[in-house]
Amino acid sequence: MTPSGEGRVFCPVCSVRFPPPKGVGDGEEVMCPVCGQKLLIRASADGWTGDRVGKYSDQEILDRIDAFARIRGYVFNEMKAEIIEGLIDKRRKFGDFYCPCRLRHDGEHQCPCRPTRGGDVERDGRCHCGLFWMKT
Amino acid sequence: MVKHMTDNIKVYALSTCPYCRRTKQFLKDNGIDCDIVDVDLLEGKEQDDLLDEIERITGKQSFPVVLIGSEVIVGHNEEKLRKALGL
Ligand SMILES: [Zn+2]
């Protein structure tokens, strides 16, 4: 089955649509090239759907932030473990991995948040929460 | 009643924020009596009103905010805390 919607996968974390890598198909795992989320892709009449692998698990956010830092070439500092604790606490209290240092519980503020994906680290040297940093 | 200086110390924090946690810990370690509010754990109008107040005082929504008398310290900053508290 060939899905419509130009054969793109929708990422439920960062809301981008990206073409799945060649040769990858129904029921396989791909990584969102923008936010680093692992997605299990399925063909549907409306296009590819991507389900978050390990949704809401601690491992999901650990893998996502490591992948995102790798994609962008960002580094972490000694606050990493505490910020991850904050992300997990956000998930527990407010439903998803939102910025631990903000009071914004919406899709645009899932880590890595939209301002961060949009270049805050290049501009400020760090993201708002101080998780992602420019390599010095 | 003698009015203590500590009556004026207020901390606005988020329960999930590691910098807020450090500020709370610093104040505790130094025996500073203060009024701590985790803004994310408030609801509805109470939260909205406090956020308006924080934005009025600091010009943004950033945490932690420590109010010591007329002094406003945004973010975890031990040097500024020490200075403001005379530690
Ligand atoms: Zn994504």
Q: Which residue range forms the structural domain that includes residue B64?
A: 6-80
Look at residue B10 and tell me if it is in a domain.
Answer: yes
CATH code where residue B23 lies: 3.40.30.10
Interface of A with B (CB under 8 A): 79, 82-83, 85-87, 89-90, 93-94, 100-103, 129-130
pLDDT (tens digit per residue) in A6-49: 588 999 999 999 998 888 888 999 999 999 999 999 988 877 88
Chain B residues within 8 A of A109 when measuring between CB atoms = none
DSSP-H helix ranges across B36-77: 44-58
A87 vs A10, more confident: A87
- Tell me the average pLDDT of chain A: 93
CB contact under 8 A, A102 and B61: yes
Judged against a pLDDT cut of 80, whether residue A2 lies above it is answered with: no
- Summarize the confidence of residues B66-86 as an average pLDDT: 95
Architecture of domain A58-134: Alpha-Beta Complex (3.90)
pLDDT in the model for residue A4:
46
What domain count does chain B have? Answer: 1
Look at residue B39 and tell me if it is in a domain.
Answer: yes
What are the angstrom distances between the C-alpha of A11 and each of A49, B22, B23, B63, B81? 8, 35, 36, 30, 43
Look at residue B86 and tell me if it is in a domain.
Answer: no
Domain boundaries, chain A: 9-52, 58-134
Chain A residues within 8 A of B60 when measuring between CB atoms = none
ipTM for the assembly: 0.87
